[in-house]
């Protein structure tokens, strides 16, 4: 394989955003070329100036008329407010973002939310505590949905081995559980927190308040893959029934149209600020950060719920060269909490850190030994991102500067 060969269709030429620290390897986002021979703010000479879609969206947030947006929110709430029963489904774990979203919709905008949670693989103590506080101190009704443990374990293992994406089944389930419960309870409104544009998805998406329905509908069962295998293959090989997959399958188109379910993001209506969501949740829903920082980053209030969560970020780092510290630093640079120089330093220090604290639990959960784990990890190191150094160790080729 050529040393510049790129796996997963990523650009083989690695570029970093000159405003934050994210690279062009992030899936579903772009880095735009702006001007030649410009030095970035921190004074480091960079030949070309590149700006990622998340930074572009961040600038756009400053010119949006948020008063008008809030009026749209008030109108929407009026339309959905019922005399009795639930007005809105808020999916979430009770972390700072869903904590803030559910609380503000209920106590500032007068809706009656039903909160819905797709259970973590293995709760951490702090994650479970934050979830309980959200319900007890925040004051919400909640459905905690726990998927079939035997199937969820298998799917997580397949997704790790075939895609190096152990969180894929969780992400799919988490995406579907809101619409699924909304449909069962006939609640036509779903609210998520921040807009996906905050993380670099196409800023155009946030010009529409409503999420594209293709995220939770499908037309043909034969097109469904889970953990890198066709659904039908898993059923045959591992002796499951189609019905076992109910919580992982998108709702059928007809059901959605019957109930006219709308999916909105609060980040479209209110100017989103992560730190603000954090302080709000601490004050109103009993949210607590961890006592120690999360491995792979410097933050104490991200990825707290699930012991397996940090393997999501670690595998992301192996595949795309982007770890959790990059995400956290990028977002804090954008909101002006830290400088780009500080961000670069934090990425260099924490991004590649191996999450050893729950390694044993993770191996037990996916039923693999350490050799199989590393064999899988190394199989997904794209040659354009990774090389073996003189000490015969894997080394990442491009670091943010």
**Residue 209, both tokens:** 């308040």
For Zn ion, give the closer residue by CB, 41 or 136.
Answer: 41
Q: Considering the rule CB under 5 A, would residue 20 count as an interface residue with Zn ion?
A: yes
For Zn ion, give the closer residue by CB, 48 or 75.
Answer: 48
CA 175 – CA 188 distance, rounded (Å): 16
Strand, helix or coil for residue 285: coil
Report the nearest approach of Zn ion to the CB of residue 70 (Å): 27
Q: Considering the rule CB under 5 A, would residue 189 count as an interface residue with Zn ion?
A: no
CA 330 – CA 18 distance, rounded (Å): 11
CA distances in angstroms from 206 to 58, 61, 137, 195, listed in the order given: 11, 10, 31, 7
For Zn ion, give the closer residue by CB, 103 or 340.
Answer: 340
β-strands 386-388, 394-396: how paired? antiparallel
The distance from CA 315 to its chain's CA centroid, rounded to whole angstroms, is 14
For Zn ion, give the closer residue by CB, 53 or 168.
Answer: 53
Report the nearest approach of Zn ion to the CB of residue 54 (Å): 5
Q: Determine how many CB atoms are found less than 10 A away from the CB of residue 234.
A: 21
Q: Considering the rule CB under 5 A, would residue 96 count as an interface residue with Zn ion?
A: no
Considering only residues 10, 52, 116, 154, which one is a binding residue for Zn ion as defined by CB under 5 A? 52
Stretch that binds Zn ion, among 17-25, 223-231, 289-297, 317-325 (CB under 5 A): 17-25
Q: Considering the rule CB under 5 A, would residue 329 count as an interface residue with Zn ion?
A: no
Binding residues for Zn ion, rule CB under 5 A, total: 5
Kindly give, in sequence order, each residue whose CB lies less than 8 Å from that of residue 23, ignoring residues fewer than 6 positions away: 14, 15, 16, 17, 31, 320, 321, 322, 326, 398, 400
For Zn ion, give the closer residue by CB, 55 or 88.
Answer: 55
CA 353 – CA 380 distance, rounded (Å): 17
Considering only residues 17, 164, 261, 325, which one is a binding residue for Zn ion as defined by CB under 5 A? 17
Kindly give, in sequence order, each residue whose CB lies less than 8 Å from that of residue 387, ignoring residues fewer than 6 positions away: 3, 394, 395, 397
Report the nearest approach of Zn ion to the CB of residue 25 (Å): 13
Q: Considering the rule CB under 5 A, would residue 266 count as an interface residue with Zn ion?
A: no
Stretch that binds Zn ion, among 44-52, 121-129, 264-272, 362-370 (CB under 5 A): 44-52
For Zn ion, give the closer residue by CB, 179 or 203.
Answer: 203
Stretch that binds Zn ion, among 46-54, 137-145, 310-318, 380-388 (CB under 5 A): 46-54
Q: Considering the rule CB under 5 A, would residue 55 count as an interface residue with Zn ion?
A: yes
CA 94 – CA 109 distance, rounded (Å): 19
Nearest alpha carbon to residue 319 among 19, 32, 9, 30: 9
Element (H or E) spanning 110, and its range? none
Stretch that binds Zn ion, among 51-59, 276-284, 293-301, 339-347 (CB under 5 A): 51-59
Stretch that binds Zn ion, among 45-53, 164-172, 210-218, 289-297 (CB under 5 A): 45-53
Within 286-305, the residues that bind Zn ion by CB under 5 A are none
Label residue 262 left, alpha or beta by phi (over 0 means left) and psi (-120 to 50 means alpha).
Answer: beta
Q: Specify whether the CB–CB gap between 301 and 290 falls below 8 A.
A: yes
Stretch that binds Zn ion, among 15-23, 151-159, 282-290, 297-305 (CB under 5 A): 15-23
Kindly give, in sequence order, each residue whose CB lies less than 8 Å from that of residue 9, ignoring residues fewer than 6 positions away: none
Report the nearest approach of Zn ion to the CB of residue 21 (Å): 7
Q: Give me the phi and psi of 180, to 5 degrees please.
A: -65, -50
For Zn ion, give the closer residue by CB, 21 or 77.
Answer: 21
Within 107-166, the residues that bind Zn ion by CB under 5 A are none
User: What are the residue ranges of helices labelled H in 220-284?
Assistant: 231-238, 253-259, 266-269, 274-284
For Zn ion, give the closer residue by CB, 20 or 181.
Answer: 20
CA 108 – CA 125 distance, rounded (Å): 30
Report the nearest approach of Zn ion to the CB of residue 68 (Å): 27
Considering only residues 10, 16, 19, 195, which one is a binding residue for Zn ion as defined by CB under 5 A? 19
Give the residues lining the site for Zn ion (CB under 5 A). Answer: 17, 19-20, 52, 55
């Amino acid at each position: 394989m050529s040393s510049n060969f790129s796996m997963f269709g990523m650009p083989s030429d690695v570029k970093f955003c000159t405003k934050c620290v994210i690279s062009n390897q992030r899936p579903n986002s772009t880095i735009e070329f702006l001007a030649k021979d410009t030095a970035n703010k921190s004074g480091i000479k960079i030949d070309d100036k590149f700006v990622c879609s998340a930074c572009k969206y961040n600038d756009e947030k400053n010119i949006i008329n948020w008063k008008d947006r809030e009026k749209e929110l008030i109108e929407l709430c009026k339309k959905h407010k019922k005399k009795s029963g639930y007005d809105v489904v808020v999916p979430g774990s009770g972390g700072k973002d869903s904590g803030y979203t559910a609380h503000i919709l209920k106590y500032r905008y007068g809706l009656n939310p039903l909160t819905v949670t797709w259970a973590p693989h293995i709760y951490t103590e702090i994650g479970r505590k934050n979830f309980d506080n959200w319900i007890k101190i925040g004051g919400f009704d909640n459905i905690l949905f726990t998927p079939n443990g035997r199937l969820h374990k298998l799917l997580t293992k397949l997704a790790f081995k075939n895609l190096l994406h152990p969180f894929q089944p969780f992400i799919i389930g988490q995406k579907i559980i809101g619409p699924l419960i909304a449909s069962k309870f006939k609640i036509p409104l779903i609210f998520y927190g921040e807009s996906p544009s905050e993380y670099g998805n196409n800023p155009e998406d946030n010009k529409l308040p409503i999420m594209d329905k293709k995220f939770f509908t499908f037309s043909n069962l034969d097109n469904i893959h889970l953990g890198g295998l066709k659904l039908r293959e898993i059923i045959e090989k591992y002796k499951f029934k189609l019905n076992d997959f109910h919580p992982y399958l998108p709702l059928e188109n007809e059901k959605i149209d019957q109930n006219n379910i709308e999916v909105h993001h609060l980040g479209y209506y209110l100017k989103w600020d992560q730190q603000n969501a954090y302080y709000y949740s601490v004050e109103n829903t009993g949210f607590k950060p961890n006592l120690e920082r999360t491995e792979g980053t410097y933050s104490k209030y991200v990825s707290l719920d699930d012991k397996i969560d940090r393997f999501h970020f670690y595998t992301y780092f192996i595949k795309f060269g982007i770890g959790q510290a990059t995400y956290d630093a990028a977002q804090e640079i954008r909101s002006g909490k830290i400088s780009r120089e500080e961000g670069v330093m934090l990425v260099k220090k924490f991004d590649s850190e191996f999450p050893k604290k729950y390694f044993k639990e993770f191996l037990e959960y996916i039923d693999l030994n350490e050799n199989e784990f590393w064999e899988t990890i190394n199989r997904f190191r794209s040659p354009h991102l990774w090389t073996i150094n003189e000490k015969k160790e894997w080394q990442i080729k491009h670091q943010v500067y």
